């Protein structure tokens, strides 16, 4: 299914509908029954975020989205009301109270047209859908503060093999709000990337290289392999 292109003018100025993916807001309206469900606060003391993520059913097939609130430590918030293979719908507080968010991409949901050597590369970074959600919040003014977006890559057995984290900090926000033309051009191209454009090895490489250009505009990337893995050849590989 083709997606609607985002025009340059609307990308910079227009308030759009927040999209699913990051889990801050969903594509559909949350029902009153779902809103009545309490947010679940999960302590990571004595365990880890990795173990919490891996404990979810079908984590290798369905995404998980958890977040941390500003002023707290050792607590993950689960407000998910729906999980699918490519996004979550989450009941949340105002996004500006969120200091970091972690969500998952599973290798089982990688495109079958991507080779085995590129499967991890195709799932270890924020997707166009994830970025559309983030930039939608920027346009609406619901995110005005720095935030860290963590992406956990999940293997076929439901285990985390590594994290890719992106800090969209003060420098990035300054560049965005002054409408830096180079940043807007890169972000526009990323958000307008269509699914068919990342169904090949070369398409994945092109998208990832474009995503990493955000480093030139203040975004800070960090790659953290899980135990038993290393970061090599721009991918997570077993030691």
Tell me the domain boundaries of the chain. Answer: 8-238
Q: How far is CA 168 from CA 73, 134, 147, in A?
A: 20, 10, 6
Predicted confidence (pLDDT) per residue in 24-83, tens digit: 544 344 444 444 445 789 999 999 999 999 999 999 999 999 999 999 999 999 988 889
Question: What one-character DSSP code corresponds to residue 21?
Answer: S
Predicted confidence (pLDDT) per residue in 147-196, tens digit: 999 999 999 999 999 999 999 999 999 999 999 999 999 999 999 999 99
Cβ(105)–Cβ(99) below 8 Å: no
Q: Residue 92 has what pLDDT?
A: 67
Helix (H, G, I), strand (E, B) or coil at 183: helix
Helices then strands (H, E): number in the chain? 8, 11
Instruction: Give pTM, 2 decimals.
Output: 0.86
In terms of Cβ atoms closer than 10 Å to its own Cβ (0-12, 13-18, 19+), residue 48 is: exposed
Predicted confidence (pLDDT) per residue in 103-116, tens digit: 999 999 999 999 99
Helix (H, G, I), strand (E, B) or coil at 229: strand
Q: Residue 27 has what pLDDT?
A: 38
Q: How far is CA 214 from CA 49, 77, 169, in A?
A: 26, 28, 12
CA-nearest of 102, 138, 189 to 19 is: 138
């Amino acid at each position: 299914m083709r997606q609607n292109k985002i025009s340059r003018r609307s990308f910079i100025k227009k308030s759009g509908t927040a999209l699913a993916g990051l889990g801050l807001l969903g594509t559909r309206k949350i029902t009153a029954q779902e809103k009545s469900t309490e947010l679940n606060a999960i302590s990571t003391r004595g365990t880890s975020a990795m173990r919490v993520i891996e404990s979810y059913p079908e984590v290798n097939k369905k995404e998980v989205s958890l977040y941390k609130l500003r002023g707290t430590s050792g607590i993950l918030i689960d407000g998910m009301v729906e999980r699918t293979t490519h996004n979550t719908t989450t009941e949340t507080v105002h996004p500006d109270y969120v200091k970091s968010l972690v969500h998952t991409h599973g290798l089982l949901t990688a495109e079958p047209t991507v080779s085995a050597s590129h499967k991890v590369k195709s799932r270890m970074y924020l997707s166009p859908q994830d970025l559309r959600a983030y930039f939608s919040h920027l346009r609406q003014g619901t995110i005005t503060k720095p935030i860290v977006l963590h992406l956990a890559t999940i293997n076929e057995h439901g285990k985390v093999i590594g994290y890719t984290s992106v800090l969209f900090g003060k420098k990035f926000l300054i560049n965005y709000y002054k409408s830096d033309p180079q940043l807007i051009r890169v972000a526009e191209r990323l958000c307008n990337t269509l699914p068919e454009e990342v169904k090949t090895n070369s398409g994945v490489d092109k998208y990832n290289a474009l995503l990493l250009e955000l480093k030139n505009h203040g975004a800070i990337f960090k790659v953290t392999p899980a135990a038993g893995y290393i970061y090599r050849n721009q991918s997570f590989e077993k030691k």
